[in-house]
Chain A
Amino acid sequence: MSLRIPVDTIRLAVPVLALSALLIAVFWLQPRAMSYLGLNLLFNLAVPIALATVAQMFILAVNDLDLSMGAFVSFAACVTATFLHSSPLLGALILAAAVAVYAAMGAIIHLRNLPSIVVTLGMSFVWTGIAVLLLPAPGGAAPAWVRSLMTAKPPLVPMAIVASVVIALVTHLILMRTSLGVLIRAVGGNQQSVARAGWSPLLAKAAAYALAGTFAVLAGIALVGLTTSADANIALRYTLLSIAGVILGGGEFVGGRVSPVGAVIGALTLALAGSFLSFLRISPDWQIGAQGAILVIVLALRLFLNKLERQERGG
């Protein structure tokens, strides 16, 4: 083949195509969605999912997996609806401490060479436990500034789209354009060579986990801004959604190959898939299956493209 398209562009092409195809289908099924209000309703609940997805992406970038994402976002949501609302300073301190715990978790996982799945699974019970202590029953209230930020109506483009673009840009800059980002991806690629080159893999892993914690906290805050209150189980779905979003967006489980823009698009695609199935009037019993089918189709497309990629390299 003489036509040479950069490999990363091909990787990003699949999620972009999947999102466009779904969007066209949704517009065709429900022309009302093709408006400022419609786009906002379609995508505003995708904003916290996108934030949780990029958080998960930072963990996947260092070859780890965070099974506590949903529990941690729920915990952050509970803190937002209680402390951040009543005494903002204390609330901010608690959230900062939670991010510090995430960094420490990354350091311990690296130092003791522990499997991240086990550590994060254990931590998920800790987060849920604290969340239940904070809010035994659903309740709390969103801080006014969070609520007005999430329901802001910027001119021309709805808030949900603006937020998604900002999240994609910021994480792209962090992971792709800073030396820290390169270091994080390098740890995912080959930890030994990072250490031999004189860099600290410990620092990189702790930084990746701290970034993940930060974005997960933002996910919790954004979620409360939309729902106006929290409960201890509010974001349990986010663990699987965030992993699926990263993979759907062109990320890999190993090798430090992740795409921030792809991850945001993956999260939007997952959210849109739900609306699409709902507009199709598919019975709820089938919806989870249909959602899975969409994932399988996109992943199959990915595998096919990966094969092309390998052939191209080989030839």
Chain B
Amino acid sequence: MMRNQLLLASAAALCLAVPGFATADTSDKQIALSNNYAGNSWRQAMLTSWEKVTGAAVEEGVVAAADAFTTAENQVTEQAAQIQNLILQGYDAIVLNAASPTGLNGAVKEACDAGIIVVSFDGVVTEPCAWRIAVDFQEMGRSQIEYLAGRLPDGGNLLEIRGLAGVFVDDEISAGIHAGVEEYPQFEIVGSVHGDWASDVAQRAVAGILPSLPDVQGVVTQGGDGYGAAQAFAATDREMPIIVMGNRHDELTWWKEQKDANGYETMSVSIAPGVSTLAFWVAQQVLDGVEVPKDLTVPFLRIDQDNLEENLETTQEGGVANVEYTLEDAQAVIAAASE
């Protein structure tokens, strides 16, 4: 009896003595990341961010574990089996980047029925019991026109570089761009090419269409294609238009060079791979008992003239600008969705 009290007292003293001792209710909870693909730089950065942020969270005792699992073949059946294994392994929450929006619903339902929190992000799932952190691609397109309207109040001719034909993301961003042009009718899209989100493809496509175009004041893009477009314009005697960038290292580097040489101004927008860490914090908040709406929206990572240098510095060569989210960021996103 006496000994127990002593133990308790010393434990309490220890808690007080260690500064920053986390007292979250989730300290015994385990979170798993189920990821369907790791074969490009965006996904690699996503996994690195996950490791960095969750590693620190585990060390601080916010959660007990946060392990990442990636399937080898990017197949629905394989990831469904993986989720079922994670259920068996006793995780309290599964953070999910899904291979299919609907194909995993059966496995996700199994997880929910077992009392597990499922938070999907980037590749979200439609199963109603899961949380979704989705990207508002339309807004990403629309915000480009809004920016250009601020820079060019009189409007002008725009060249649109699209992504990979037939892919959902390409349709969404383009729909947003066209909605933006309707909102700001002083702009006109005079040409449209597919750049496949790749610099070399975009350069060829833009070089091919340029001779048939009138003067172009702005280029709206989808990311990964801005550097190629700039190269295509540089090869002609046209004036360099405002090319919206997509946070890639080559795009930011070129922008920085131009900025230093002639004060070139533009902006850059894309989704940070660190969104996986946002999903982690959302899962932690749900485990903590916070009331979280099922549908959340990923904030964009926007780079402007004044924060170009710091973002370029932290971006790896060949990679994409990244940001790791904090608990406070997640709380802000939740609060925005709760309104």
Partner-B contacts on A (CB < 8 A): 30, 32-33, 37-38, 41-42, 44-45, 48, 137-140, 223, 225-231, 233-238, 271, 274-275, 278-279, 281, 284-285, 287-288
| Residues on A with beta carbons closer than 8 Å to the beta carbon of B82 | 278
Find out whether the CB atom of A45 lies under 8 angstroms from the CB atom of B77: yes
Contact between A275 and B38, CB atoms less than 8 A apart: no
A42 and B77 CA atoms in complex are apart in Å by 13
CB distance from B46 to the nearest CB of A (A): 14
Which residues does chain A contribute within 8 Å of B77, judged by CB atoms? 45, 48, 223, 227, 234-235, 237-238
Q: How many angstroms between the C-alpha atoms of A267 and B87 in the bound complex?
A: 21
Q: Mark B51-84, 1 if CB is under 8 A from A, else 0.
A: 0000000000000000101111101111011101
24 contacts between A and B (CB under 8 A): A30-B89, A32-B90, A41-B84, A138-B100, A225-B106, A227-B76, A227-B104, A227-B105, A228-B105, A228-B106, A231-B100, A233-B75, A234-B103, A235-B77, A274-B81, A275-B81, A275-B84, A275-B85, A278-B69, A278-B85, A279-B88, A284-B69, A284-B70, A285-B72
Q: Which residues of B contact A226 (CB under 8 A)?
A: 80, 106-107
- How many cross-chain pairs have Cβ atoms below 8 Å apart between A and B? 93
**Complex Cα spacing A200 to B309, Å:** 79
Q: Which residues of A contact B67 (CB under 8 A)?
A: 281
Q: Is the CB of A41 within 8 A of B103?
A: no
What distance in Å separates the Cβ of B285 from its nearest Cβ neighbour in chain A?
Answer: 26
Cβ of A304 to closest chain B Cβ, rounded Å: 29
Contacts of A235 in B (CB 8 A): 77
Chain A residues positioned under 8 Å from B87 (CB to CB): 41
Min Cβ gap A32→B in Å is 5
B74 to chain A, nearest CB (A): 10
B114 an interface residue at 8 Å Cβ cutoff? yes
B85 and A279 form a contact (CB under 8 A): yes
How many residues on chain B are close to A (CB under 8 Å)? Answer: 32
Complex CA gap A228/B107 in Å reads: 9
**A275/B88 contact (C-beta < 8 A), A37-B114, A231-B76, A284-B38 known:** yes
Which residue of the partner chain A has the closest CB to B74? A233
User: Which residues of chain A have C-beta atoms less than 8 A from B100's C-beta?
Assistant: 138, 229, 231, 234
The secondary structure that dominates the A interface is: helix
B102 interface residue per 8 A CB criterion? yes
Contact status B88-A41, CB under 8 Å: yes
Knowing A138-B100, A139-B102, A274-B81, the reply to whether A33 touches B75 (Cβ < 8 A) is no
Interchain CB contact under 8 A, A41 and B110: yes
**With A227-B103, A234-B76, A237-B77 given, is the CB distance from A44 to B84 under 8 Å?**
yes
Please name all residues of chain A whose beta carbon is closer than 8 Å to the beta carbon of B105 when the two chains form the complex: 227-229
Chain B residue contacts of A281, Cβ below 8 A: 67
Contacts of B75 in A (CB 8 A): 233, 236-237
Complex contact A45–B101 (CB within 8 A): no
Q: How far is the CB of B87 from chain A (nearest CB, A)?
A: 6
Which of B72, B90, B101 is A287 in contact with, Cβ under 8 Å? Answer: B72
Determine if B109 is an interface residue (Cβ-Cβ < 8 Å): yes
Which residues from B are CB-within-8-Å of A275?
81, 84-85, 88
Interface residues of B (CB under 8 A from A): 38, 67, 69-73, 75-78, 80-82, 84-85, 87-90, 100-107, 109-110, 114, 168
Question: How long is the Cα–Cα vector from A129 to B109 in the complex, in angstroms?
Answer: 30
Q: Known: A236-B75, A275-B85. Contact between A229 and B102, CB under 8 A?
A: yes
- Measured CA separation A135–B285 after assembly (Å): 37
Complex: how many Å from CA A234 to CA B103? 8
Q: What residues of A have a CB within 8 angstroms of the CB of B80 in the complex?
A: 45, 226-227
The residue in chain A whose Cβ has the minimal distance to the Cβ of B82 is A278
Q: How far is the CB of B134 from chain A (nearest CB, A)?
A: 16
**From A35, which residue of chain B is reached at the shortest CB distance?**
B88
Distance of A227 Cα from B101 Cα, bound (Å): 11
Smallest distance from the beta carbon of A47 to chain B beta carbons, Å? Answer: 12
Q: How far is the CA of A308 from the CA of B80 in the complex (A)?
A: 40
Our pick among B84, B102, B109 for the contact of A45 (Cβ within 8 Å) is B84
Alpha-carbon gap, A223 to B84, bound state (A): 15
- A43 (CB) vs chain B CBs: closest residue: B84
A150 nearest in chain B by CB position: B106
A94 CB → nearest B CB, Å: 21
**Considering the chains assembled together, what is the distance between the CA atoms of A30 and B90 in angstroms?**
9
Q: Are A42 and B89 in contact (CB under 8 A)?
A: no
Please measure, in the bound complex, the distance between the C-alpha atom of A32 and the C-alpha atom of B89, giving whole angstroms. 7
Minimal beta-carbon separation of A59 from chain B (angstroms): 21
Given contacts A41-B110, A44-B84, A284-B38, contact A237 B73 (CB under 8 A): yes
A225 to B71, CA, bound (A): 22
Give the distance to chain B from A38, nearest Cβ to Cβ, in Å.
Answer: 6
Residue in B71, B72, B103 whose beta carbon sits within 8 Å of that of A138 in the complex: B103
Residues of B within 8 A of A223 (CB): 77
Contacting B88 at CB < 8 Å: which of A30, A229, A230? A30
CB distance from A71 to the nearest CB of B (A): 13
Closest residue on chain A to residue B86 by CB atoms: A278
Q: How long is the Cα–Cα vector from A226 to B102 in the complex, in angstroms?
A: 11
A276 nearest CB neighbor, chain B only: B85
A228 x B102 contact (CB < 8 A): yes
